Each structure stands twice: as structure tokens, then as C-alpha cells.
Structure 1
Amino acid sequence: MDHRIIRIIFVLIGFDWLIGCEQHNPPYPVNPVISDVCWSLSFQVICKATGSDNWSDVWANNVNLYIASGDSCDFPRKPFKKSNLDFTRIEGTSDNSKDFNVWGGFES
């Protein structure tokens, strides 16, 4: 099939999709506190627990970061010893952080 015909088909499908789109209002009020979200780029992410499943991170009011993780080698990493569930506290800045097992893992 000619490439021009394929392009025309995709353009027509795109116009049909745009015509069918409607502006929807969110079902909840706009948050007055959080006005913007900025995602970190991959080169800024520090990964100290490769091979682990990290879940919800919480930044507490004591300025520490708390992380639940599973199938991990603990923080700091211990090779060849995996635990089912850990709860970890990270203190400090990205350049100078310390990791502590709060619950779970092999030191609790």
C-alpha cells in the first residue's frame, strides 16, 4: 500500500479522535496547596537497593524518608540475603544519606 494513503488514514483517524474528545472537569476541587508536580529525571535518581521491590515512599515531618520494600537485600545492601518485607528510614541529603532498617529485614 502506498505510504501516502497510510498517512491519510492516520490523519483522518486522528481528526476523528480529536473531534470526539471533550473537556472534562475533575470531580474534585482544585488543590490550593499543590500547584505543580515536577518529576525527577532518571539521572537524578539514586538507587541503593537494586533488585528490590520498593513501594510507597513517605516524606515525614521529621525530614526523613520512609520506604516499604519487599524482596530486598536490606539497606545497606547485604548480598545473598533477601527478606520478604522491610521498612526503611533514610536520613540526610541525596549527597550524604544514611539508611536504617526500622522493621523487618535481618537486623530486627
Structure 2
Amino acid sequence: MSLARALALAAAAACCTGAFATEHVVTQKAKAFSTKKLSLKVGDSIKFVNEDPFSHNVFSLSDAKSFDLGSYGQGGSKSIVFDKPGTVEVECAVHPDMKLIVEVQK
């Protein structure tokens, strides 16, 4: 196998395994997300970390990404991968004033 072919295969394998995806961290503290708006690329994920002394339940009913991470307490975290472009409105089922807009780009 030629070196060029081997490099091409290695690059293709890396691309398909999400080697270029980024994990963004959003904390939850004082009944608020650490940011109100976040831009990311398809394949990226958000890790939600609960720094409050009570539970949170992160969810979205958006067409671009619908999910419910369930309830988790202080020190807990949950992650979600965003697999298609669009605007995702993220909320907390326990604290309705907690809102985050995620813009997922190609």
C-alpha cells in the first residue's frame, strides 16, 4: 500500500469517528445555565454539569434536536450530541426560567 493511500485511509477513519468533534461544557449554578447562547458544529456535544445543591432536568422539544436528559443532582452531569443543524431551545424542567439557545451549524 502506498503512503498516500495509507494517509488517505487514516484521515477517512479519523473523520468518521468524530475526531474533530468538540465537547462544550455548560454549568448549572444559581438556577441558571453558564451561558444563554452557544454556537457549535454538527457532531459536537454539550456536557451539562450541575453545580447547584438541587436537581436539574435538561430537555428540548426543538425540531432540530428533541431530548430529555432526566433528573440529576449536585455534581452530576449529562451529555448530548447534536447531530443535525438548526436552532435548539434547551430548558430545565425543574426551573422554567433556565433557557439556553444552541445554534448548530454544518
TM over 0.5: no
- TM-score bracket for the superposition, by shorter chain length: under 0.3
Q: TM-score, normalised by structure 1?
A: 0.23
Give the greater-gyration-radius structure (CA). 1
Question: Which structure shows the bigger proportion of residues in strand conformation?
Answer: 2
If the length of structure 2 is used for normalisation, what is the TM-score?
A: 0.23
RCO higher in 1 or 2 (8 Å CA, sep ≥ 6)? Answer: 2
